[in-house]
Structure 1
Amino acid sequence: PLPRFTALFRYIKIHLIMPGLLELCEEQFGSKNLYTVLGVKKEATSNELRKGYHKVSLAVHPDRVDKKKKEEATKQFQTLGRVYQILSDSDLKAVYDETGEVAEENSPAANKDWDKYWRGLFTKLTVQDIVNFEKEYVGSAEELSDLEAAYTGGKGSMDHILNNVLVCTIDDEKRFRAIIDAWIEEGKVDTYDAYLNETDKKKKQRKRKASKEAKEAEEAKKELGLGDANSDLAALILARGQSRQAQADSFFDTLAEKYSKPVAKRGKKPRK
């Protein structure tokens, strides 16, 4: 096998340097840095690169913008695909990392069907996928890690916890409190006033909100025909309502990462 440097040199010789891609990145995304375009660090793993590509591509996908922005979104989507193709190829990535230049094989990338490429990377997710994910996730080490992050990130706010732990509902509150209480007892997490002294008024507001959401979701479910495992995840996100959009986006990213081949994830003194 060729030594690394020789392999890179050979790769540069048999590929054409693509003028314009970096300029397109700056014009469309405000930066010539390919990693910045994907919203990741240079040290990003292949899974992190993939997730970054997925998140940005969702934001600029032509199917997700209004007609006035469709042409611009299409160009951004095509550029994004070329960026990811370079960073997901170990040789092309190495060339870019070492020279700051980008190389694309005889430049067929400009005419590639990026929509088809994207859909191939991120397969359609169904309600059944969500059911399967929930079975694996609830009670797992990953859920506990997310719960701890939500608890500390929201400084004990139960509203924050229920909005940031995946696939949870108000019915999980009692279970979450039992876990958090045990952590506090062990000294694993700090104590927060918002957690220890939550008012009855706030609890009632949360229950009313959950009841309203459940009703809206049920109505949306009927409207969208969400009765079987063949329904699109996008429809499910709509059924969750605007107030849960942030959680839905996070949920979509996690599912896409899990079912489209990536993976992974993860005592203090009490204080008030």
Structure 2
Amino acid sequence: MPTLVDLCEKYFGHKDFYDVLRIPKNANEKQIRKAYHRLSLLVHPDRVEEQKKAEATEKFKVLGKVHSILSDKEKKMVYDETGSYDEEDEKAERDWNEYWRLLFKKITIEDINRYKKQYQGSEEELSDLKRAYTDGKGDMDFILESVPFSNTEEEPRLRSLLQGMIDSGEVPAFRAFTHETPRKRERRKRKWEKEAQEAEKMKVEMNMDDGEEGLRAIIQAKHAQRTVDADAFFDHLAAKYSGGGGSAKKKGTRQQPARKQAKK
């Protein structure tokens, strides 16, 4: 029977628990929790397509076991000092879905809409926008996929913000941004319209009230799930899950965004 370390290597390409969670070995409790939350959302059995559920379930179990070790002070100390853990204890049957639910509050559409109001126009959004622009070398498709709550309707506003960064010398003028073809923009617009149509079908299936706001809420929820690697979004919601009240910076003043290290 494969050990937890074997399963870590099989599903995540790493034997070290910290590498599995993509955090440094000196990570604190909050960083461990946040990393577990972000990765577990990517493989949560309820959030993947049917054909991926079996593997996602196994990955979800592995992440739960890793977190249960690193979040326990005594187990973590033993692992940090010796690289070992109680394998028999980790083989014990456990409901990892229940474990997850006890740790994290379910994200609701209301949560998402509330955070959207705080996020858009904040320093966090500017920082994420700058990072997405730099990482994507100015590719607007990449930017809209990376920044929470962004879409083709928000594109003019985001373009204006980015142009301001370019004019001030804050970011370089990537050709993919400054010389994007109308054809590429039209293709992106059609993609958004298709997603809106899919959301309309979801609205009917979920028996939601008619109206633009209901439709937008579903689209925003879908986008929030797609951008699960966005630090700003999960920094805020992770604080909510743990009972904190994390908040985005207020709108208004245009300040220098905090520099974030790009993920590899």
Q: What is the aligned partner in structure 2 of residue 14 from structure 1?
A: none
Quick one: distance in 1 between partners of 2:194 and 2:49? 29
User: Could you list the per-position Cα deviations for residues 71-92 of structure 1 after superposition, in whole angstroms to 9, with x for gaps in the alignment?
Assistant: x766654454332122112332
Contact 1:216 1:239 in 2 (8 A): no
Q: Which residue number in structure 2 is paired with residue 270 of structure 1?
A: none
Distance 2:161 2:154 in 1: 11
Q: Distance in 1 between matches of 2:25 and 2:201?
A: 45
Corresponding letter in the other structure for 1:29: C
Change (3 A) 1:180 1:32: closer
After the TM superposition, which of the residue ranges 93-102 and 106-115 deviates more from structure 2? 106-115
Structure 2: unaligned runs, 5 residues or longer: 211-216, 249-257, 259-264
Alignment partner, residue 186 of structure 1:
168
Contact 1:86 1:93 in 2 (8 A): yes
Aligned equivalents of 2:53 and 2:148: distance in 1?
Answer: 32
Offset of residue 220 of structure 1: 2.1
1:68 and 1:171 map into 2 onto residues whose CA distance is 32
Residue 223 of structure 1 deviates from its aligned partner by 1.8
Structure 2 residue aligned with 1:26: 5
- The answer to whether 1:44 aligns with 2:27 is yes
Q: Which residue of 2 aligns with 1:176?
A: 158
Q: Aligned with 1:191: secondary structure?
A: coil
1:84 is matched with which residue?
67
Q: Distance in 2 between matches of 1:138 and 1:219?
A: 27
Inter-partner Cα distance in structure 2 for 1:114 and 1:171: 39
Fraction of identical pairs, as percent:
41
2:198 paired residue number: 216
1:216 Cα offset (Å): 2.3
Aligned length: 234
- State the Cα distance separating 1:101 from its structure 2 match: 2.4
Could you give the per-residue CA deviations for residues 217-239 of structure 1, whole angstroms, max 9, x where no partner exists?
222222233449xxxxxx94798
For residue 4 of structure 1, what is the aligned residue in structure 2? Answer: none
Partner of 2:173: helix, strand, or coil? Answer: coil
Corresponding residue number in structure 1 for 2:40: 57
Q: Decide whether aligned partners of structure 1 residues 251 and 126 sit closer, same or farther in structure 2, where only a CA change above 3 A counts.
A: farther
Deviation at 1:138, TM superposition (A): 0.5
Measure, in 2, the Cα distance between the counterparts of 1:61 and 1:159.
Answer: 26
Q: Which amino acid in 1 is paired with 2:3? A: L
Deviates more, 1:180-189 or 1:88-97: 88-97
Q: Secondary structure at the match of 1:249?
A: coil
Q: State the distance in 2 between where 1:173 and 1:48 align.
A: 32
The alignment's TM-score, normalised by the length of structure 1, stands at 0.70
SS of the residue 2:194 aligns to: helix
Match of 2:241 in 1: 260
TM-score by length of 2: 0.72
CA–CA separation in structure 1 for the residues paired with 2:151 and 2:52? 38
Provide the rounded CA distance (Å) in 2 between the counterparts of 1:65 and 1:212.
Answer: 19
Provide closer, same or farther for how the CA distance between residues 154 and 37 of structure 1 changes in structure 2, counting only shifts above 3 A: closer
1:1-272 matches, within 5 Å, as 24-30=3-9, 31-58=14-41, 61=44, 70=54, 77-103=60-86, 107=89, 110-227=92-209, 236=218, 240=222, 247-250=226-229, 254=234, 256-261=237-242, 266=258
Q: Against the structure 1 CA distance between its residues 27 and 238, is the aligned structure 2 distance closer, same or farther, given a 3 Å change threshold?
A: farther
- RMSD over aligned CA atoms reads 3.6
Task: Give the direction of change, closer, same or farther, for the CA distance of 1:192–1:224 in structure 2 (3 Å limit).
Answer: same
Q: Structure 1 176/65 Cα, relative in aligned 2: closer, same or farther at 3 Å?
A: closer
Q: Choose 197-206 or 116-125, whichever is displaced more.
A: 197-206
Displacement after TM superposition at 1:103 (Å): 4.8
Contact 2:22 2:35 in 1 (8 A): yes
CA contact (8 A) 1:217 1:239 kept: no
